[in-house]
């Protein structure tokens, strides 16, 4: 298997030694785009937040800093990611401030109206049923809750070659701002704001319940 294919297969569901290497890279490489995305979120000290497809748990760690009196959950369907995210956040986990669980975004174990905000960084491209997942996010958010999506790719002619590899080799679905808006509205979100960073092919989307 080529290195690109290995990386993309692992990005979909990081596992084992190879997955651990990819997760360590993602914790570093997604830091800047995540910070850019997080600027859209309004968090209070006591906010209850969930990071969906949390991978190595770096975003969970950042969210915990922004919500000193709140609670942050991380959810991922990779058992290994749950272990690595727990390791990275071990102190906050011991304090009960952070909880990492194994689960699928389409079907979470949370009650209705549980979270002030949900985040999804570099993961929506892999979700097998995006509308179902967005409806699930809508269900677990409180009224007026925020859903932040951060993607390091959107369809753009200047990035055709890079994105073609993601789509063909990684089987990723890279939504345009229009598609993302339509899917979020179909899932019930009332307000959607999307920003692009054309120099880097980055997209950040904030949807309000």
14 binds ligand SAM (CB under 6 A): yes
89 binds ligand SAM (CB under 6 A): no
61 binds ligand SAM (CB under 6 A): no
The region of 7-15, 90-98, 156-164, 188-196 touching ligand SAM under the rule CB under 6 A is 7-15
123 binds ligand SAM (CB under 6 A): yes
Residue 31 Cβ, how far from ligand SAM at the closest point, in Å? 9
Residue 194 Cβ, how far from ligand SAM at the closest point, in Å? 18
Phi, psi of 28 (to 5 degrees): -85, -50
Measured at the alpha carbon of residue 182, what is the angle toward residues 11 and 102, in degrees to the nearest 5? 35
54 binds ligand SAM (CB under 6 A): yes
81 binds ligand SAM (CB under 6 A): yes
Q: Which residue has the tokens 């999307």?
A: 194
The region of 63-71, 72-80, 166-174, 176-184 touching ligand SAM under the rule CB under 6 A is 72-80
Residue in 118, 117, 138 with CA at minimum distance from that of residue 183: 138
- What angle do the packed helices 3-12 and 160-168 form, to 10 degrees? 70
Rg (CA), the chain: 16
The three-state secondary structure class of 26 is helix
Within 10 Å of residue 132's Cβ, how many Cβ atoms? 14
The region of 48-56, 61-69, 135-143, 159-167 touching ligand SAM under the rule CB under 6 A is 48-56
Candidate list 38, 41, 53, 205; residue touching ligand SAM; CB under 6 A = 53
Bridging pattern class, strands 141-151 and 115-121: parallel
Q: How does DSSP assign 88-141, residue by residue?
A: HTHHHHHTTSEEEEE-BTTB-SPPTT-EEEEEEES-GGG-SSHHHHHHHHHHHE
Q: Which CB, 5 or 46, lies closer to ligand SAM?
A: 5
The region of 37-45, 51-59, 156-164, 196-204 touching ligand SAM under the rule CB under 6 A is 51-59
Instruction: Name the residues that contact ligand SAM, by CB under 6 A.
Output: 11, 13-14, 26, 30, 53-56, 59, 76-78, 81, 104-105, 121-123, 126-127
């Amino acid at each position: 298997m080529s290195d690109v294919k290995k990386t993309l297969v692992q990005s979909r569901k990081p596992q084992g030694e190879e997955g651990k290497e990819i997760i360590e890279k993602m914790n570093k490489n997604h830091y800047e785009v995540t910070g850019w995305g997080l600027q859209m979120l309004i968090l209070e000290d006591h906010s209850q937040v969930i990071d969906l497809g949390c991978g190595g748990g770096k975003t969970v760690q950042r969210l915990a800093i922004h919500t000193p009196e709140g609670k942050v959950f991380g959810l991922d369907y990779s058992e290994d990611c749950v272990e690595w995210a727990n390791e990275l956040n071990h102190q906050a986990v011991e304090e009960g401030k952070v909880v990492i669980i194994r689960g699928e975004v389409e079907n979470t174990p949370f009650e209705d109206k549980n979270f002030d905000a949900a985040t999804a960084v570099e993961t929506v491209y892999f979700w097998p049923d995006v509308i179902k997942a967005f409806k699930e996010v809508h269900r677990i958010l409180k009224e007026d809750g925020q859903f932040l999506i951060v993607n390091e790719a959107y369809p753009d002619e200047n990035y055709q070659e890079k994105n073609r590899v993601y789509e063909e080799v990684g089987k990723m679905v890279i939504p345009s701002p229009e598609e993302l808006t339509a899917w979020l509205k179909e899932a019930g979100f009332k307000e959607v704001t999307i920003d692009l960073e054309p120099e880097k092919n980055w997209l950040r989307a904030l949807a309000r319940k």
